[in-house]
Chains A and B, each alone.
Chain A
Amino acid sequence: MKKQWIRIISFIMMICMISMVSIGCGRSNQDSGKKVTINILNYKRETVDILQKMIDKFEKENPNIHIQMDSPSDAMTILKTRLVKENPPDIAILGGERSYADFVDADTIVDISDYKGLDKVKDVYKDMAKQLELSKKKGTYCVPYAANAAGVLYNRDMFKKYGWKIPETWDEFISLCKQIKSDGETPFYFMLKDSWTGITPWNALAANLTSTTIYDEVNQGKDSFSNHYGEPAKKLKELLKYGQKDPFAYSYNDGTTAFSKGDSAMLLTGNFAIPQIRSTNSDINLGAFTLPVLNDASKTKLVSGIDVMFSVMKADHKKECLKFIDFMLQDENVATYMKQSSSVSCIKGKFPVPVDLKEMEKYFNNNRVVDFPDHHYPADLPAGDMIQGYLMNNDMQTFLNKFDTEWKKSNRNLIRKLQK
């Protein structure tokens, strides 16, 4: 009896092994003649139509290159599965966040430091991309293209009606909130049911009140977040006073809907929320300004990150990939892209800032921008949840300790590597 089962099981195992070995690694790209096919994986679904038009134009100019773009939902998971399959796209259109850093760290992105077009990219965004990397590697792994910004979205009509002024300093901002309240309106809608929305104002506060080297220093064991995150936490708590009655009940969807219907004068979020807000009220007259975190207006920086960047993930057709990126970097195309997607350019040159972000223009033009701190947070660090919990329970010490503990846990492999 027993023997028979052993025989059956070993038979099954054999089948598995044979099938894996015999069929394994039998996948190659079919290069049909001279025509090269470039596969692009685009994480930003909102831009599909714009990009597709530009791709069509590119294909017309370069008849021997065919570009096939996928813009799936949950693109990061898909990119991971494609890396597991050892079938990455030629170009990945990514956001400048921690997952990019992981891809660089796992040696999955091709070095393009010899690419001439990099000179066209604003230095501040190139530095930003470098800062993201976990262990600063030699080489360049992305071409930053478009930037986003976070701050305060406001209802222009309401501001006009009551004669409110756009604040330049923290004190002005707080007195504006008080003013709005006494005029019988709600300053903000918090959307803290979705914990990630709490990170947006946190980003502005933490970015202005801490230095960008803090992540590396904590990883090297030289510093801790407890030493620096008290101040932003205190200020965030202060803002909560000016939210609606039940700030933890509303989701992102509910909050943007409320703001679009004029239920609140402002919303603490980024330009990425504008399409969602417009979808529930296309007529809303909105603007955006920088969250004035400091009382010295000249020192406040705008939180802006890389929204779209190109990374070459497969060396097979590097030349053709760079040709496409080159095409995207041409002034005329940059202008089209930025205009149609309402984003801010990472490319040098006179490209107008979108109308909605007019009040932020001087920050962009003077390079007074700083990256979102959460772009440095690992995806598995529950930063949003911790901020949500802190605002709910008002226990700063627990929050600070927890932040350090969780950070060390999420980065434990890196920390072990660095501190060896």
Chain B
Amino acid sequence: MATIKKKIKNKGNIAVWGRTLLLILLALTIVFPLYMTVIIAFKQPTEMTNDVSGALALPRHFSFQNFIQAIQTTDFFHTIGNSLFITIVTLIVVVIFHSMAAYAIGRKMNKHKSFNFLYLYFISGMFVPFSMLMLPLVKETSIIGIDNKLGLIILYTVFFFPMNLLLYTGYLKNIPLALEEAAYVDGATTWTTFWKVIFPLLKPMHATVIVLTALSVWNDVMTPLVILSGGSGKDTTLPLAQLLFQTQFGTNYNLAFASYLLALVPILILYLFAQKQIINGVVNGSVK
């Protein structure tokens, strides 16, 4: 018995290394574009060339000149503040309200026609081409007077609801009803059941929703562009400021890439934190 176990373990070890090796090889497809991004961010415009070996060569000097200039051009600390504010507030609103609504819809849509209808109604909202909503929304937000950060947060809350609804309801299917029923037996109300039992159980999905929503909000250009109508207001977001690297006919890739790399950092940090939640989800521990 012991030898068999050992054998399995040895075999397992080889498999572990085999899979790891495979992942390393696949990772080359990711490392390569990343490498190009980084070297371009360090190069000077005059070092840009169409020659393959030249383009892939390391920059002549490593200096942070591009990064400093990118920070100045985009008014980095101001615009990243705006972006952070919008993203964080959106995330808080999204996690609370979306999970609430998704719980209600997810649990009741099979039994109540009206909720089933709501589910389809919200999901279909995902398929409205944004270009079409854009001008009416511009008018609407401007009339109500929310063509500012607040408006952006509300709009994001609306736009990402269909996707998050889908995610939460999908996840809820894997949470057994027994848990809630037990809570009801103990005399809990729907409200407390949700907050005490379901909301914590949704943690891995919260993390997923946070990552995906944050990513879309963080990188979004179109909505702030049209809602804020311009690139010089006090509410300007970082991606909007990054448009400044593109003129009518050309793009300064070196500065733009430096700026993109800077913008990537907060999201990456967020992802690394959230990843732990996605992976070490409570579900594995408590739902059995």
Within 8 A of A (CB), among B248-274: 248-253
For B139, the chain A residues whose CB sits under 8 A away are 84-85
Which chain B residues border A254 with CB–CB below 8 Å? 50
Which A residues are CB-close (under 8 A) to B46?
A: 279-282
How many angstroms from the CA of A43 to the CA of B248 in the assembled complex?
A: 9
Nearest B residue to A41, CB-CB: B230
Q: Does A407 contact B (CB under 8 A)?
A: no
Fill in one digit per residue for B219-263: 1 if any A CB lies within 8 Å of its CB, else 0.
Answer: 000000110011110000000000110111111110000000000
* Closest Cβ–Cβ distance, residue A159 to chain B (whole Å): 22
Q: Mark B117-158, 1 if CB is under 8 A from A, else 0.
A: 000000000000000001100111011110100000000000
Contact yes or no, A280 B45, CB < 8 A? yes
A99 within 8 A of B: no
B161 to chain A, nearest CB (A): 15
Residue B48 at the chain A interface, CB threshold 8 Å: yes
- CB-CB under 8 A from B140, the residues of chain A are 20
B49 within 8 Å of A (CB atoms): yes
| Complex-state Cα separation, A280 to B50, whole angstroms | 11
A85 and B248 form a contact (CB under 8 A)? no
- Specify the chain A residue showing the minimal Cβ separation from B245: A73
Nearest chain B CB to A258 CB, angstrom units: 5
Whether A25 contacts B143 in the complex (CB less than 8 A), given A84-B138, A254-B50, comes out as yes
Q: Is A44 an interface residue (CB 8 A)?
A: yes
Beyond A23-B144, A85-B139, whether A45 also contacts B229 by CB under 8 A is no
Contact flags A107-121 to B (C-beta < 8 A → 1, else 0): 000000000000000
> In the complex, A161 Cα to B218 Cα: how many Å?
52
A252 touches B250 (CB 8 A): yes
Sort chain A's interface into a size bin.
35 or more
Residue of B nearest to A256 (CB): B250
A299 within 8 A of B: no
A273 within 8 A of B: yes
Also in contact, A72 and B243, with CB within 8 A (given A81-B226, A85-B139, A261-B49)? yes
Tell me, in angstroms, the Cα distance from A324 to B155 when the chains sit together. 38
* Chain B residues closer than 8 Å to A395, beta-carbon distance: none
- Which residue on A lies nearest to B113, using beta carbons? A1
A25→B142 CA distance, assembly (Å):
9
Question: B243 and A46: CB pair below 8 A?
Answer: no
Instruction: Indicate if the CB atoms of A5 and B114 lie closer than 8 Å.
Output: yes
A14-58: contact bitstring with B at CB < 8 Å (1 yes, 0 no)? 000001100111110000000000000101111000000000000
- Smallest CB separation, B140 vs chain A (Å): 7
Contact across chains for A77 and B250 when beta carbons are under 8 A apart? no
Q: Which of A262-301 contact B (CB under 8 A)?
A: 263, 272-273, 275-276, 279-282
Assess whether A183 is interfacial by the CB under 8 Å rule.
no
CA distance A84 to B135 in the complex (A): 7
* Count, chain B residues at interface, CB 8 A: 32
What are the residues of chain A within 8 A of B243 when measuring CB–CB?
Answer: 72-74
Question: Are A279 and B144 touching (Cβ within 8 A)?
Answer: no
B250 x A279 contact (CB < 8 A): yes
Which residues does chain A contribute within 8 Å of B232, judged by CB atoms?
Answer: 70-72
Cα A273 to Cα B225 in complex, Å, equals 26
Whether A195 sits at the interface, judged by CB under 8 Å, is no
Given A23-B145, A253-B251, A257-B49, is A73 in contact with B246 using a C-beta cutoff of 8 Å? yes
B89 to chain A, nearest CB (A): 21
Residues from chain B with Cβ under 8 Å of A77 in the complex: 225-226
Q: Does the CB pair B230–A72 fall under 8 Å?
A: yes
**Identity of the chain A residue whose Cβ is nearest the Cβ of B243 in the assembled complex:** A73
Q: What is the minimal beta-carbon distance from B151 to any residue of chain A, in angstroms?
A: 12
How many angstroms between the C-alpha atoms of A275 and B45 in the bound complex?
12
Q: Which residues of chain A from 76 to 103 have a CB within 8 Å of any chain B CB?
A: 77-78, 80-82, 84-87
Contact call A279/B252, Cβ cutoff below 8 A: yes
Q: In the complex, which residues of chain B have a beta carbon less than 8 angstroms from the beta carbon of A258?
A: 50
Is there an interface contact between A19 and B249, defined as CB atoms closer than 8 Å?
no
Interface centre among B230, B243, B253 (most CB of A within 10 A): B230
Answer whether A85 and B249 are a contact pair too, CB < 8 Å, given A20-B143, A77-B226, A258-B50. Answer: no
Write out the residue numbers on chain A whose beta carbons fall within 8 Å of the beta carbon of B249. 252, 272-273, 276
Residues on the B chain within 8 Å of A257, using CB: 48-50
Q: Provide the bound-state CA to CA distance between A73 and B145, in Å.
A: 24
B114 close to A1 (CB less than 8 A): yes
Question: Which of A1, A20, A282 is the one whose CB lies under 8 Å from B144?
Answer: A20
Given A257-B50, A276-B250, A82 contacting B229 (CB threshold 8 A): yes
Point out the residue from A73, A272, A275 that lies within 8 Å of B244, measured CB to CB.
A73
Across-interface contacts of B48 in A (CB, < 8 A): 257, 280
Q: Closest 8 CB pairs between A and B? A: A72-B231, A73-B243, A276-B250, A85-B142, A279-B45, A81-B138, A72-B230, A70-B230
Can you report 18 residue pairs joining A to B where beta carbons are below 8 Å apart?
A20-B140, A23-B143, A25-B143, A26-B145, A43-B248, A46-B247, A72-B232, A73-B243, A78-B230, A81-B135, A82-B229, A84-B139, A85-B229, A252-B249, A252-B250, A253-B250, A256-B250, A261-B49
B residues with CB within 8 A of A:
45-46, 48-50, 114, 134-135, 138-140, 142-145, 147, 225-226, 229-232, 243-244, 246-253
Given contacts A85-B142, A280-B46, 18 further A-B contacts (CB under 8 A): A5-B114, A23-B143, A23-B144, A46-B247, A72-B230, A72-B232, A73-B231, A77-B225, A78-B226, A78-B229, A78-B230, A86-B142, A87-B229, A254-B50, A258-B50, A263-B50, A275-B250, A276-B250
